[in-house]
Every structure is written in structure tokens, then in C-alpha cells.
A and B are shown apart, each in its own frame.
Chain A
């Protein structure tokens, strides 16, 4: 082999390396950069691409209103390609190289977990728009999606009270969110006097597409005479074949209703919802919510995407809230410096799309209404129940042993994400 070739190729490689190393020239100081960290390829692109477009739309809207602090906003889009370590790498790139003021991104829990240390180290800001398992509160992260107490528990309460459900199937994809949620629900149900044999828990792998056995099991479990419901934490992709099987097997919502926490308008868009009418979902927002603000939002979204049929969903609203909170906090602080924004954003209140006002709480979760909707034959949800007021997101569940005593409050002097009220120390049980 020739040394000459080696030298040239090695030289090339080194040059390439240096190219990443050199600073990106002089930064334009008249714009504020916003990072968008959503997968545009790979398995999660199906869900996350929409959120990328949503943030782009919000930025465009804000610029039309004159930007923030007199500067225009500029979006920096990267593709972490559904590859979790790549999320961390891209987050670092956004903060360290692109010097973005805030990042809107992540969908799965694992992607969030992957970028957490990066945001902590480089003191960035992350707005995370998904409903998630809770058990976390980090100084640099704002959780604009639902915590379990803003979605799972009200949903189960609804089924118990309104539908008189006594027997429960907790079906989920085998990963952290369903595991934790089901753990919380199991404890909750048992505290309400549900017997262990009236709870069936089943986990399936990601992208599970053959639901025959499980649907048959559900049918058998539900024919025992007591009113039965399925609480589904099945992840995105697997839902379409699940519902198709459910519909074909003739499981009607009147007999065994299924309430889902991960099925929104976007997922239903790939389905004929005729056989699914009456099955439920619990969210903090539905496209069908009848308010002026929502009508305007849907219209802007359709104009932005150029698709008159395009649907909106809950995580989009979460980004809408997070983005507006960030804008308000920046204006309040007069600066985009992360520390200033973190101090300013607690207590910031912005109108949500369902007619109320959502506030950023000291634990970096927000207040939201909880809506229960039934699937309609046009692929939309109709709200059949909602909480009378807003529910405060709970970072640490009351229904898990490890976290019962923990609270989060990022205001000084506590400034702690896992303060243990039993020991009076920051840092879990702090042994």
C-alpha cells in the first residue's frame, strides 16, 4: 500500500476534522438562534417531523410580530435521525457551535435522557413537549407535556366513575414510559380497592404488528362479567395494527373501551376510525377544542403546511405553550441568557389553546387541563369530560415508593430538582 495515498487521505481527514473545529465565522448578532432537535429520519421521523414544522411555524409567526427583544429569530434545524447518542451530539453542536438561545426538541424519553447531561453541562435550555413518565426535574429542562398525574390518573378516574369499570387491562410497549405509568396506575387502582386478579398487564415490543393473541386475550379477560377497560400506553407505530385488529375483532367501545395516552389526531390520520368510534384518549388538548385561539392555530398550521386537511395534536400545543413561555420569559428578563431565562420563566403564564391559561411551575412542569375524548368517525376526538380546573404537573409521583417524598422547586433558595421532604435534603434520600 502506498504511503502517498495515505498521506493525502489522512491529510483530508485532518482537514475535515479541523473544519469542524474552526469557529463558524462571525456570528450574526442581529438574530437569536433557536435550535430544533427533532428526528427527521429513522423510526421517529413519523412523529417528530410535525413538531419541527410546528416550531418553524411558531418562529415565523413570532418574527412577523417583530421577533424577540427587537431581534429576529432564526431556526437551526438538525436531524438526530432517531439515533439516541446522536441526539446528545447534536445537542452539543447546537449549544456549543451554533450558540442557540433555546432548544425545542426530543420525543422519546431515551432521547431526553441522552441530552440531559449536555444541557446541564453547557447550561442550555430544552423545551420537551411530550407526555412522559415523570420522575425527573432538571434545571435546564422545561417539561411542557403531561406528567402522569395530568393524563393517566384522571383518565382512570373517568373510567371508574363514568363508565363503572372494575377490571383493567394495562397494555403497553415495553419501555420506560408504559412501565412507570402502569406501575403508578397499578398502585393507584389497588389503593381504590381493585383486586390484583382484576388487573392484567401486558407488554409488547416496539413496532409490534401482530396483535391477534393479545386482542384475543383482552376479549377473554373482558368476558368475565365485570365491566372491563383497556388502558393503552402502546407506542405510536404499533397502534395502527392494534386498532385495526381491535376493529376487525369486533371489540366495541361500549363493551371494552380502550383509553390511550399515545394516540392523537396524527396517529388516527392513518386509520379508518369508523370501527373505533367511542374508544378514548386522554390528552391536554384536542384539535376539536372549540375556542377562538385554537381555530386560529389550526388555520395558521394548515396555511403553513399548505395542507388543508393537516391535523394538529397535543405535543404541538405543548410546543406552542413552551415557545410562548420562553418568549415571555426572555422579554421579562430582557436577555436570552439561560440563567436569566430560568429565573424569569417560573410563574410565566400564557393562554393555552383550550381556553385557559397555563403557567410554568417551580418544578419546571406546567399547569394543564386534562381532557378525555372519544374517537369520532372523522378521525377527531370529541371531548366527553374535562377537569374543572387546571392540573399542576407533578414531577415526582405520589404512587411510587421511591419518589413519594420528593419535590422539585427551582426557585432560590431551594433550587433543587429532587428535594427530599422526609430528610430535608436535596438529592433523593441523601444517605
Chain B
């Protein structure tokens, strides 16, 4: 059995020193002691409440005299983390947190991140980072570098989700008054999650000092959640419900909803009304969310289809190898990233940026080779390009499988494409946002190239009337090759972007080829704007159907809709008019 923590009286003393706070030290000692004997799950809220108080009120009062003694206690408590089962570790985390000393934060953070190690030789605990063949050790309290250790000399202290949760709660308490606003925010969020009724006063103290409005808002919400969980007056609770209702997110809704079912009559009625209000606003946000998801899916479809809009739409080649161009682009990204990883690890975030032109070049050249080697012989027979390019796609797929192996390859996300931000009730992930921006930029660039440049002019001339263009002195074979190269190159660029959200495997292209054809045909062959509109409307339609019909049925319904739509408009959304159509 774990002996009672030697630091217990100290913590209580801290709390006692803060005698101005309403809960008397005597009353807080009871739960404190019980906390150590209780199973950890129940012990933690009580502990946390106390140490919040202890920390906020007492930290400044702690005399330097006690420092040395305290360090020893702290060190012992940290060292204790290295032993025993998860359940025991959980208790020790609680004990460590109960010391109320912010110096424990680095050790706890390292433990949660899996960076806390125990030295086999003497059982000492260190923060370790992988370096060379071994680890670089840091002393967890002084944060001083204490040299390196071999791979076998230290052993990682294991954590699981439950421990991480405990640590997060403990850190929430310890970092509520940290100097870094991001950490205060994290702390406030942690308290909001735990809905601990005894945290109200600590939050009040923290709020009084808080300067950052964003952090303050979360603290307010956390305080309201805490008030609702406490035994405070009905007026205060009512105010808390209003505050949470105004916040309106799902988390707040869950808290208020729990009052609606469990609270006493007037409060419950108020909560019920608040929940109804929040549900109405959620429904609106749901629409916004579906639009955003639809645009995001549409941007992926647009990316997949945009190259095909050139090779198939403009040139009329039924290019079954289009998907493989996308795949080659993704593999180029993989290669470029590997190169950066080996040569300039510090610049890895820019690998994707460099991969874009690289992929354009690689797939563009492959495209030109295919055009020169196969497709130019089939100009008079467009349907047969289907067969030949199908053959090309088989070869490319197997080629990549032979070269890179059949398994998935990892293309990492640069830091600016990881994570998400909140826009009202919308969670917008950066990678989706960038892909949307990127696909629209690519589309705009392509339109500009086709409309404004001489190259675009010759492409249009050749595709509209090959013989006339030839008579005007345009070298049609060159234009054909370059156009196909352009379409392929753009598919390659799309591949780089798609590597951020999908598997990079030899099958990558296959999963997009059908959708791409659908988009181009839906939008109207030969019309780039049609492709844009087609992609976006198919994406949004899919996302609006998905919540009702489920993912599978939504897709089927979209396909059926597409088939019916083509009956109504046999040449897609934007049909080309005139003689070119019949050619």
C-alpha cells in the first residue's frame, strides 16, 4: 500500500494560510485526508479543488524558507511516478498535484507526452528526448541537462489514456495562473471538461487577474459549469445557465441539458428552454457546417477532376490514366519530402511547396511521353484512347507498386496544415481550408492560362478546329503534346494536395477516376466553369444527403441524380454550342 504522502500537511498548511477564503481550512482538511484513502476517481476533484485554492492563494505566500524542504518532497513525489501499476501511478499524480507546486508541471507534461524515463541503474527519473542512438536526459525539476543515456539504460514510464486525463486535470489546476495565455486557456478548458463544483473560487481568483478576453471567456464558461455542479444559490445557477446558453456550443448544451433533466423545477424549466434555444441555433450551424463540408468535398472533387477537364474535356481523350497522374503527383510529394528529410530537416514544412512544381514537371513529362508514345496515333479514334490509356494506367500502377511497394507511404502535413480553428460553432480544419483555397487558386490560374495566354489561345484553336489551326501555322502536334502535358501536370499538382487527406498508395488514382469523370460530364465536357460548378454542387449535394441517408446511400442518390440530370440536359450543365459539339 502506498504510504500517506509526506507532503500532505504542507499542502494543508498552504490552504490554511489562505484563511481569508470562505471554506475554512478545517473543513477542507477532511476531504483532503479522505481523498488519499479514496479511489482516485473520486479523490481527484476534491484534491483539485483544494490545490486550486492552495495554488492561487497560497503560492505567493509560500516562504523561501520552505523551498529546500519542498524540493525534496517534490523530487520524491516525481520519482514515485516511475513505480507501480497505472492505478498506483494515478494516485501518485494526484499526490504530486496536491503539492500545488508549479515546478511539477514539466515532469507531468513529460509524463503525459511519454517523455518521462526512469534510469534503470538508480531509479532516478528524467525527461528524455531521443538523440542519436540514445536519449538526452534533463532533470525534471531544475530542467538542467544532465547528459545522455543509452537506449537500454533508461526505461519509459508508461501512461495510458486514463493517466493522461488525470494529468490534464492536474495540469489544469496547476497552470491556471501560468504566464503563457495558451496554457491558461488549456487549463480553463480542462476545468470546463471536468465540471468540478469546487473550482469556482479558484476560477474567480484567476478571472480577477485575467487580461486575455478569449481566456477569460473560457474561464467564465468553466466557472458557470462549476457553479452548476456546486451547491450554490439558484440565482447564481440561473445566471450560469444563461451564460452557457449564450455560449451555445455542444459542450455547453450538454451541461445545460444535464440540469434540464436533473435540476430542481424552476431551474430545469429554464434549462429546458435554453436547450431548445441552443438546439435551434445548432440546427442553423448544422446547415453552415454541411455547406462547408460540401465545399470542402467539392474542392477535393475539383482537384481530382480539373486535370481531366483538360485531357478529357478539352482534348477529348478518354483518359483512364488520369487517376494515375494524380497518384504520381502524390508519390512525387513523398519523394520530395524524403529528400528534404535527408538534406534539410529544418525546412520540411516547405517540402510540399517545392513538391508542387516538381509534381507538375514529373507528371507533365509523363503525360507528354504518353501523348507522344500512344495517344497521338489515336486522334481520329477517341473511344479507343480509353483502351490504350487503360493499359497505360495498369502499367503505371504496377510500376509504382514495384518501385515503392504496395503499402501506404506517409506524406506528413506541414505545421500550417495541421489542426483546426473554431469559427462560431464550426470546426474548420486547416488542411481542408488550404485545399479549398488551393483548388480555387489552381482553377483561377488555369482559367487565366486558357483565356489570357497565347498558349491557351492555341490550345483552344487546335481543339476547336485542328485543320484550320494547322493552316494558320500552329504546330498542332506540339500543342497536343503540351496540352496533354498541362492536364497531366495539373493532375499531378492535385495529387500533392490529395496526399494530405488520403492514402498515398498505388490505388490512390483508382479511387478518384470515376468521380472525376462524373464531375466533368456533369459540368459539361469542354467547359472549365462547368467543372467548377459541377464539383461544388455534387460535393454539397452529397454532404446534405449524408446526415439523413448515411454515407453509402448519399453517394448512390447522387449518382442516380446525375443519371437523371443527364437525361434532362444530355450535355451537362454547360453544354458547348455550335459545330464543335458534333465533331
Direct contact between A and B in the complex (CB less than 8 angstroms)? yes
A255, closest chain B residue (CB): B193
Stretch of B215-223, B413-421, B562-570 contacting A (4+ beta carbons < 8 Å):
B413-421
B322 at the interface (CB under 8 A from A): no
Smallest CB separation, B536 vs chain A (Å): 14
B431, closest chain A residue (CB): A248
User: Chain A residues near B289 (CB, 8 Å)?
Assistant: 216
A271 at the interface (CB under 8 A from B): yes
A49 at the interface (CB under 8 A from B): yes
B429 touches A249 (CB 8 A): yes
A377 at the interface (CB under 8 A from B): yes
B551 touches A237 (CB 8 A): no
Kindly identify which residue among B162, B420, B431 contacts A162, using a CB–CB cutoff of 8 Å.
Answer: B162
User: Chain A residues near B542 (CB, 8 Å)?
Assistant: 210
Most A C-beta atoms less than 10 A away, residue of B161, B430, B552: B161
A257 touches B297 (CB 8 A): no
A212 touches B161 (CB 8 A): no
Stretch of A39-47, A105-113, A291-299, A323-331 contacting B (4+ beta carbons < 8 Å):
A39-47
User: Chain B residues near A42 (CB, 8 Å)?
Assistant: 507
- Supply 19 further A-B pairs (C-beta < 8 A) apart from A45-B506, A212-B296, A248-B419: A46-B507, A49-B405, A49-B406, A162-B162, A163-B161, A163-B162, A203-B550, A210-B293, A210-B542, A216-B427, A240-B408, A240-B503, A241-B503, A247-B418, A248-B420, A248-B429, A255-B193, A382-B158, A384-B160
Q: Interface residues, chain A, CB within 8 Å of chain B?
A: 40-43, 45-46, 49-50, 162-164, 174, 202-205, 207-210, 212-214, 216-217, 219-220, 223-225, 237, 240-241, 244-245, 247-250, 253-255, 257, 266-267, 269-272, 275, 277-278, 280, 374, 376-377, 382, 384
Kindly identify which residue among B165, B410, B502, B506 contacts A269, using a CB–CB cutoff of 8 Å.
Answer: B410
Kindly identify which residue among A164, A174, A270 contacts B505, using a CB–CB cutoff of 8 Å.
Answer: A270
What's the dominant secondary structure at chain B's contact region? helix
List 4 A-B pairs, minimum CB-CB distance, nearest first. Answer: A270-B408, A248-B429, A223-B250, A45-B406
User: Chain A residues near B41 (CB, 8 Å)?
Assistant: 164
Smallest CB separation, A13 vs chain B (Å): 21
Smallest CB separation, A176 vs chain B (Å): 15
A249 touches B420 (CB 8 A): yes
B398 at the interface (CB under 8 A from A): yes
Kindly identify which residue among A45, A209, A254, A271 contacts B168, using a CB–CB cutoff of 8 Å.
Answer: A254
Digitize B496-511: 1 where CB-to-A-CB distance is under 8 Å, 0 elsewhere: 0000111111110011
Smallest CB separation, B6 vs chain A (Å): 29
Smallest CB separation, B340 vs chain A (Å): 15
- A40–B405 CA distance with the chains assembled, in angstroms: 10
A270 touches B410 (CB 8 A): yes
- 29 A–B contacts, CB within 8 A, in A order: A41-B398, A49-B406, A49-B407, A163-B162, A202-B551, A209-B511, A210-B297, A212-B296, A212-B432, A213-B290, A213-B547, A214-B551, A216-B289, A224-B254, A237-B505, A240-B408, A244-B431, A244-B500, A244-B501, A245-B501, A248-B418, A248-B432, A249-B427, A267-B408, A269-B407, A270-B409, A270-B503, A278-B164, A384-B86
User: Chain A residues near B503 (CB, 8 Å)?
Assistant: 46, 237, 240-241, 270
A40, closest chain B residue (CB): B406
Given contacts A163-B162, A209-B502, A250-B420, contact A50 B551 (CB under 8 A): no
B300 at the interface (CB under 8 A from A): yes
B160 touches A374 (CB 8 A): yes
User: Chain A residues near B555 (CB, 8 Å)?
Assistant: 205
Kindly identify which residue among B158, B397, B504 contacts A384, using a CB–CB cutoff of 8 Å.
Answer: B158
- A41–B351 CA distance with the chains assembled, in angstroms: 30
B201-257 interface with A by 8 A CB criterion:
250-251, 253-255, 257
A237 touches B507 (CB 8 A): yes
- A223–B249 CA distance with the chains assembled, in angstroms: 10
B338 at the interface (CB under 8 A from A): no
- A213–B550 CA distance with the chains assembled, in angstroms: 10
- A212–B298 CA distance with the chains assembled, in angstroms: 13
Given contacts A248-B430, A254-B165, contact A210 B160 (CB under 8 A): no
Smallest CB separation, A320 vs chain B (Å): 19
Smallest CB separation, A277 vs chain B (Å): 7
